[in-house]
Every structure is written in C-alpha cells, then in structure tokens.
Structure 1
Amino acid sequence: MRRIVLSTESGADLPKDLAEKHDVQVVPMHIVMDGNDYLDGSLSVTDIYNYYSRTKKIPSTTSTNAHEYQEFFSRIKMDFPDCMIVHIGYTSKASSSFQNAVIAAQEFEDVYLIDALNVTGGLAAIVMYAVSLLEKEPEIEPKQLIEKIEAKVPKSKLAFIPGSLEFLRAGGRVSNAAYLGGTLLKIKPCIELIDGKLVSTKKYRGNMNRVAEKLFKDYLADYSIDRDQIYFIYSIGFEESIKQQIDSLAKEAEFKHIKWIQAGGMISTHSGPGGFGIAGLEL
C-alpha cells in the first residue's frame, strides 16, 4: 500500500506539534511588510503588530504561487518516495492559493486536491479529520479518503471575533464611520465562513470576556458540533482568564478534546490582537 501524505497551507494555523506528529506538510503563504516579502511563519506576529503601531498600516498577504507549489510537491516526493499527496487547501473564495496548487498539480500524476472552503481553525479541523481517518484506516484507498474528506468540508464551521476594528479599518474592511460607531458602542462583528466566503453574520456588544462566552453559546446553538473535538483560535493579546472561562464552558458542554490554536501571521494580519474564534465539525 503506497503511503498517503497530507499537506496544507500555513493559513490553516495547524499547530507545529500536530503537523510534526502526523507528518502533515505545510507550505507557507506570504506576508508583505515594509516592501519586503516574508514567508508566513518566518515573521513573528509581534513584529506585525509593532509595524502597525509604528506606521498605522497593516501588511498585505499573498498566496503561495504555482512555482512554489511545484517545489513543495517535489520535495514531498523526495522525502516520501512513491507517495500519494492529498492537499487540503485554503478556501479558493478568499485566495488564489488553491488555484495555484491546481496549476502545479498538473505536473504530477498522484497529487489530489481538496478545496476546504475554510481558513485557520476551520481548515485545521478538516486536516485533522483526514489525519484521524488515516490512523483509523491506514489501508484506505485514496479515492475513498478523498470522498470522506470532501463530505466533511461543508460540516466544518468557523466563527471568529476580530480583536481589533482598527485592523479591519486599516485593511479597508470597515469604514471610518462603522469603526467609530463600533468603538464607541463596543460592538464586535462575528465573521463566519459561508460557502467558502468570509461573511459578517452577527454583532456582539461588550467586553471580550462577555462576547467570547456569547459567541460560544450561539455557536453551539447554531450547529450540531461533534463533541469529540473543539478548536479555539486566539491571537496574541487574548486574555488568559478568558481562555480559562471558555475551557470551563467547553468541558461543561462535554467536549472530549479541546485544542487552542494561536493565529499565525496570515490570519493575525487581518484580525488584529486579542481575537477569538471557534472551529468544529458538525455530526
């Protein structure tokens, strides 16, 4: 039986310990800051926030290009000879990265691509679902594996609260009027992935400890999430006391496994410090 290797992008925010433990290969996306192009992961999130503090500008982000994907898939082939690659990609509705992977995959006979239609923890949840499938059924046929993963894609639910409307304003995602109104009223928008697109669905008012709890309760009310696993995503600046509060709520909701994921550079560039998100898979 030929080995199946899973891969994804850095925009999945898949924790390094999980990627290394399960041999998931991760290709970096890009952050462009102050005229320099950095591979996502080579630049600390703190550097991004410090840059904004100095300039009041946020870096831009770009996708992995087709040439980089060719090199990435070739390297996997060298490291794992005769393997098959199943690449679970960042939503094609918000980045050209997946399309670039499609172009690169044409050079290979056994690279299979799945558009996860999700980002950060929502993408990581699908990747880890694929990991669990391979662990439970190591002899599974690639076609069957792909069918099961694709069937789970619409069941991955991600909702998050950006930590800073200031970052959204700097990135052109909210107007000055909306920023001022939101700041004065302490309104925080909830962003969800719907059909692969980032959509503002709800608005919450209050401090983050209150908002995070309300988001979690609404999330469980809106979706029938599998209680085996829940992922919480946070950006630097999210308070430890709120983490403990959310942990307690998740345990009360009888989640067996709780994993906290720190947002990397790609996601933090858009969400700002102190953000919070939830990802899980529906039954």
Structure 2
Amino acid sequence: MKKLGVLVCTNAAIDYIPHEYDVRVIRSMILMGGKEYIDYEELTANQFYEMLESDPSLFPRTSMASTGTMLEAYEKLRDEGCDEALFVTISSKMSGIYENALIAAKMVEGIKVTVFDSKTVGYLQCKMAFTAHEMAKAGKSMDEIIEELSFIRDNNHVYFAVNDLSYLVKNGRLSNAANFIAGLLKIKPLLEIDKNGAVVTAEKIRTFTKAVDRMVDKFLAETEGKDYEPFIIHANNPETAEAIRQRILSLRPELKEIKEYILTPAVGAHCGPKAITIAYVLNRPKAK
C-alpha cells in the first residue's frame, strides 16, 4: 500500500480542531506592530484578538510561506517514506499559496505531489485533509480521493459577516472605493464564498446584527430538507456564535450539535475581530 502524506496551509485553522491525523501544516507569517509572528506557533488566535482589541490602531498583514518552504515540506515527507503527497490549499482566489505549492510540486524529486485547490478556507480544508487520510488508509487511489474532495468542494456554502470592513480593504480583499461607499452608507455587507472560491457580496445590509440575522435566514432556507453538516466559525465572537447556534437548534432540533471553530490569525487578519461565519456542507447520499 502506498503511503500518503497530507498537508494543509495554516489558513485551515487545523491547530484549533481536535483530531488524530498526521497532517503537516505550511504556516504563514503575521506582520503586526512592527513584528513578525509564525501563525499559531508564535501567535495564537486568543493572543491575536486580544492584541487587536487592546490596540485598535494595529492592522495586521500576512505573508505566505515561500516555495522553498513548501519544497522542504515535500522532501521531508519523501524522506519519511511517503510515496505521494496531497496538499489541500486555501482557495486560489484568496491567496497565492496554491500557485506556490504547484511550483514546489514541480521542483521536488522522488515523490508525487498533488495540489488540491479547496476553493474555500478554514474547517472545510481540514475536513478534506481528514477525508483523504481515511481514504488512503482504506487503500483508495488518489483519483478516488480527489473525487471525494471535489464532492465536498462542490457541495458547501459559506456565509460570513464582518464588523469592520477596513481589514478587508487594507489587506487587499476589498476595493477602497467599495469601502468608502460602504462606510458612507453604514453598510455591513453579508459576504459569501462563491463556487469559484472568491469572496463576494451576497447582500448589502445596514448593520452587523441584521447581516448576521440574514445570514442565518439564508442558511436555514438553503438547508431545508437536506442532509448536511453545519458549522460556525468566528473571530473571537463566542456570544454571537452561541446566539446563532441557539436560534438554529430551536428550529432544527434534529441537528443536536453545531460545531464551532475559531478563525486563525492568518484569516482573522483579513476579516477583523468579531467576524462570524455560518456554513454547511452536504453529506454524500448513502448508497441504497
């Protein structure tokens, strides 16, 4: 049986998700207050959000890992006896990590590397990585693994609301013109990740609270009668996360549980404190 090594980038927030899999992490750097930090290893999510809340003038930026760093990670897996490697990256529409990973994959020798564009960010990257591990353990081929990861990629919807648009603007995720207009009209847009993996405006809404309410409305409408896994992700906003959870569970008691995760600094730097996500991924229909 071939041995598969699995990697994700730090944007997956895998450090905050309990698991038992050997998934390697390619980490980004956080630049803030004149200092550089390795995501999670030198700056955890709690520390990051505490710093932002104590000093609102701080505007963090991120720097992705180099091609050389990725090449070293591939070579390490090869030296540990892996025949193949699978790197599940953040959406190529959000970062250059995917392109760097492809370049490094062409440079490495002695191991076949597949780079998979998740077209999303966060928990779903982890779900894909864990799924790949399980399938490889069961003897599935890379083609079979990619087919399953593609199902996850094609059957999810992520909505999120941000409390402060300036983080998206300063990190190049939203145009200054759009920010000016949004500020003038006091708009807190409801955002989503589209099928191409890009962050786009779903609706323009006047307040953060209304954006959150609308986000839940859309989630409930889209998941009605479907078999799905829901999850909430937030940037140090447990109160809003709990309110969302209670509202959904009161209307969907059959869910029993909605998992909750925190945004790692590499993603929180672009969304800002208090940003929150409600999302779902459809479960594959069971074979009859």
Same-fold call, TM > 0.5? yes
Structure 2 CA distance for partners of 1:29 and 1:160, relative to 1, 3 Å: same
C-alpha contact (below 8 Å) 1:86/1:113 kept by paired residues: yes
C-alpha contact (below 8 Å) 1:13/1:263 kept by paired residues: yes
Secondary structure of 2:146's counterpart equals helix
Aligned to 1:111, which of 110, 113, 126?
113
Report the counterpart of residue 60 of structure 1 in structure 2: 61
TM-score normalised by L of structure 2: 0.81
C-alpha contact (below 8 Å) 1:88/1:116 kept by paired residues: yes
What percent of counterpart residues are identical?
A: 21
Deviation at 1:11, TM superposition (A): 0.6
Q: Which stretches in structure 2 are left out of the alignment for 5+ residues?
A: 284-288
Deviation at 1:88, TM superposition (A): 0.9
How far apart are the structure 2 equivalents of 1:281 and 1:73? Answer: 29
C-alpha contact (below 8 Å) 2:189/2:211 kept by paired residues: no
How far apart are the structure 1 equivalents of 2:54 and 2:115? Answer: 39
Secondary structure of 2:193's counterpart equals strand
Cα shift readout 1:191-234 (whole Å, capped 9, x = no counterpart): 211111111111334453x5434312212323579645222101
Correspondences of 1:17-56 after superposition (within 5 Å): 17-18=17-18, 20-41=19-40, 42-45=42-45, 46-47=47-48, 50=51, 54=55, 56=57
Q: Which stretches in structure 1 are left out of the alignment for 5+ residues?
A: none
Cα shift readout 1:223-262 (whole Å, capped 9, x = no counterpart): 57964522210111x143x333322344343336522110
Deviation at 1:145, TM superposition (A): 1.1
Cα shift readout 1:53-78 (whole Å, capped 9, x = no counterpart): 54724121122211010112223334
Larger deviation, residues 48-57 vs 89-98: 48-57
How far apart are the structure 1 equivalents of 2:148 and 2:89? Answer: 15
Structure 2 CA distance for partners of 1:22 and 1:72, relative to 1, 3 Å: same
- AA aligned to 1:245 is A
Structure 2 CA distance for partners of 1:279 and 1:74, relative to 1, 3 Å: farther
Report the counterpart of residue 286 of structure 2 in structure 1: none
Larger deviation, residues 31-40 vs 168-177: 168-177
How far apart are the structure 1 equivalents of 2:277 and 2:29? Answer: 22
How far apart are the structure 1 equivalents of 2:105 and 2:128? Answer: 21
TM-score normalised by L of structure 1: 0.82
